[in-house]
Amino acid sequence: MTPMDFGITFKSDMDWKRELKIAQQAEESGFGYVWSFDSHVLWQAVFPRFALWAYNTRKVHIGTLVTNPVVRDVTVCASDFATLQLISGGRMELGIGRGDSSRRRLGKPPTTMANLEEFVDQFRKLTAGEHINYDGTDVFLSWARGGVPPVWVAGYGPIALRSAGRIADGVVLQFADPHLIKWCLQFVKEGAEQAGRDFSQIKIMACAPVWISDDLTYARERVRWFPALVSNHVVDLLKRYPKEELPQELVTYVEDRPGYDYLHHAEVGSSNARFVPDDIVDRYCIVGNIKNHIARIEELQSLGVHQFNIYLMCGDEEKQVAAYARSVIPHFNSKKTTRAAKPKATQAPTNAKKAAKPSKSAKSAAKPKAKVSKKKPAATSRARAAA
């Protein structure tokens, strides 16, 4: 059976102190990944937050879920990640897609998979300290020595999924529907075979919001926004593929979609979600009691999913992390000691020298303080957040 890891994803709209405390709570509770959406107009910039997470945690992997190759110039993105690799001790991971909310809010469409593949190739070379040809100029990061971050590619359609199979270290699938996960993985496998790669070495991530409750009516309303978010990608797919070539479970529910307001993207209670029926909510998200959550994740695991990533933006975020730490993660990782940990005190780097030494940050992070520091992060710790 595929080992199962767990992650959480923020959307960078939360108070940064609370967000950092939850990241620390997740780390101490057995989660292996902490991610963030990267939509610089809708929400706050993610890279300054990544620097805080990297400095104040010791084990969790940190990354974008997802950025894109047009809002972020590859030299800027690679420099940000190479810097964060030094701060974190090599725990950064790049999640990337064609661009959704960060592009739509600028009045721009998603980019092409060809552009994404070129970006990934250049990103890997730059973070390895290698040279690239950047519009006719030889460019390299002579100081990049923290290692090349793993690259996760997000996609829905056959073209994007085959591309992920060819180039990605991991694949991001935004739903918890086993039937659709299985459908997607056939194209990832085809892409891997085209590139002469071993499909079994590609990590698979399923992402979705969750709500633990026996009150299904209430639980569904907390997560109904998510299938509405996914519908944006489905509408794009229908422009590229005949409806008959796509799974009914993926396309039928968008037929009566009235539209989508990105100002209320990923928002609980948004009018964007009114068209989403209960059966789609139940398929794409995980709701119900703990047994329901475990059963669904077991089904995903049986299909080869390596990481279940909770979109942690439905409310009661600390309680959701604690509940998974107490009742779900131990079921899958019985050899690990997990607990519903209380978050540690935050700490921001006070000078560049201190921030550049992961070993000291790890030592600092291991000593909880009585209360959260009210000091603002020093200017020298700010990561570049060009979007």
- Please provide residue 65's backbone torsions phi and psi, each rounded to the nearest 5 degrees: -145, 80
| pLDDT tens over the chain, length 387 residues | 788 999 999 999 999 999 999 999 999 999 999 999 999 899 999 999 999 999 999 999 999 999 999 999 999 999 999 999 999 999 999 999 998 777 777 788 889 999 999 999 999 999 999 999 999 999 999 999 999 999 999 999 999 999 999 999 999 999 999 999 999 999 999 999 999 999 999 999 999 999 999 999 999 999 999 999 999 999 999 999 999 999 999 999 999 999 999 999 999 999 999 999 999 999 999 999 999 999 999 999 999 999 999 999 999 999 999 999 999 999 998 744 444 444 454 454 444 434 444 444 444 444 444 344 444 444 333 333 333
Cβ within 8 Å of residue 54, ≥6 positions away? 62, 84, 87, 88, 91, 92, 358, 361
Q: Across the chain, how many H-helices and E-strands are there?
A: 16, 12
Q: DSSP of 170-215, one letter per residue?
A: EEEE----HHHHHHHHHHHHHHHHHTT--GGGSEEEEEE-EEE-S-
3-class state of residue 270 by DSSP: coil
* Percent helix, strand and coil across the chain, each to the nearest 5: 45, 15, 40
Task: Give me the pLDDT at residue 361, please.
Answer: 41
The type of residue at 163 is: S
Other beta carbons within 10 angstroms of residue 322's beta carbon come to: 18
Task: Count CA atoms closer than 13 A to 130's CA, side-chain side.
Answer: 10
CB of 329 closer than 8 Å to CB of 29: yes
Running DSSP on this structure, what letter comes out for residue 325? Answer: I
Quote the pTM value: 0.86
pLDDT at 277: 98
Q: What is the pLDDT of residue 219?
A: 98
For the chain, the structural domain boundaries read: 5-381
Q: How far apart are CA 281 and CA 278, in angstroms?
A: 5
Q: With beta carbons less than 8 A apart as the criterion, state whether 53 and 34 touch.
A: yes
Structure tokens at 196: 């002469």
Q: What is the pLDDT of residue 1?
A: 78
Task: Give yes or no for a contact between 35 and 8, defined as CB atoms under 8 angstroms apart.
Answer: yes
CATH architecture observed for domain 5-381? Alpha-Beta Barrel (3.20)
Sign (positive/negative) of CA torsion 206, 41, 280, 287? positive
Rounded Cα distance, 219 and 242, in Å:
34
* pLDDT confidence of residue 355: 41
The pLDDT of residue 367 is: 43
* Neighbouring-strand partners of residue 132: 139
